[in-house]
Amino acid sequence: MILCANFKANKTRQETRAYMAVVESFVSANDISDTIIVFPPFTALDHDPRNVLIGVQNGYPVINGAYTGEIALEQLEEFGIRTILIGHSERRHVIGETQEQIAAKFQFFAEQGFVIVYCVGEPLSVREAGNDVMMGYIEQQFEGIDLSYPDLILAYEPVWAIGTGLTPSNEDIEALHSALRAKTSAPLLYGGSVKVENAGEIMALDNVDGVLVGSAALSANDFCDMIAQAAELNTEIGE
């Protein structure tokens, strides 16, 4: 399983340090073999991760240069960052990134060999318009994206489920993930209101290879609880 914690614009450097200490020691004490990725804000990237990967929530697709306010490859490399989140719904719908910008970012960081957690997902009105409209919408989010990129992790995050406490039914998650599985062999994460109470059941669904967690992962103990649930599932399926 792959479990990601996306902090968004939450937590200071000091809080992130305390968080990482809890998660690192949980992972090593419990011999966790799952992949754990934490995405702190840019200001809190200075860690020396042992069992947990640190990724960035964004990056500007250049090596360096005159791009006021942006963080480019050179600055990320200084922190040993090799993992990036691209296409998150808040960047698409709140910040206003276009598919063209997202695809350019994907291409640049793929050329650099980054692990890319690429997010797709539909707003509620699109889901309500029926399966064909929804799949057509998601298809557009694959424009310019290489679904055979070997270090791709694909996250399905319905926009209406992010930070709302709402989740699709297990059947709907399975249906969507099986459609994605037909397109790519990349690991498939589900994201959107994952929490301690539903993480285990979601991770047990067909074609769900992990979760991308926002608000519920802000508590290190809750995130560790979800990691423990993943480890339990591995035992059950004899991994």
For ligand PGA, the binding residues (CB under 6 A) are 6, 157, 162-163, 191-194, 212-216
Q: How far is the CB of 226 from ligand PGA (least distance, A)?
A: 11
Chain centre distance of CA 98: 19
Distance of closest approach, residue 28 Cβ to ligand PGA, in angstroms: 25
Minimum CB distance to ligand PGA smaller for 116 or for 194? 194
From the candidates 24, 47, 88, 177, which is the catalytic residue? 88
Q: Count CB neighbours of 91 within 10 A.
A: 18
Asked whether the beta carbons of 204 and 198 are under 8 A apart, the reply is no
What contacts 234, CB < 8 A, 6 or more positions away?
Answer: 1, 33, 34
> Dihedral, CA atoms, 8, 213, 79, 29, nearest 10 degrees?
140
Q: Are 169 and 161 in contact (CB under 8 A)?
A: no
Nearer Cβ to ligand PGA (73/227): 227
Helices and strands (DSSP H and E) totals, the chain: 9, 8
Q: Which of 24, 97, 122, 157 is catalytic?
A: 157
Closest to 220 (Cα-Cα) out of 7, 65, 73: 7
Q: Which residue is nearest to ligand PGA (CB)?
A: 214
Identity of the amino acid at 30: N
Alpha carbons 65 and 208: distance in angstroms, whole number: 39
CB of 89 to ligand PGA, least distance (A): 7
Strands 210-213 and 188-191: parallel
Q: How far is the CB of 157 from ligand PGA (least distance, A)?
A: 6
For residues 94 and 182, which CB has a smaller minimum distance to ligand PGA in the complex? 94
Q: Which of residues 61 and 191 has its CB atom nearest to ligand PGA in the complex? A: 191
Reference 192, options 220, 166, 223, 173; nearest CA is 166
Q: How far is the CB of 212 from ligand PGA (least distance, A)?
A: 5
- Two structure tokens written together for 15: 């809080």
Closer CB to ligand PGA, 53 or 72, in the complex: 53
Q: Is 157 a catalytic residue?
A: yes
Q: Mind telling me the catalytic residues?
A: 88, 157
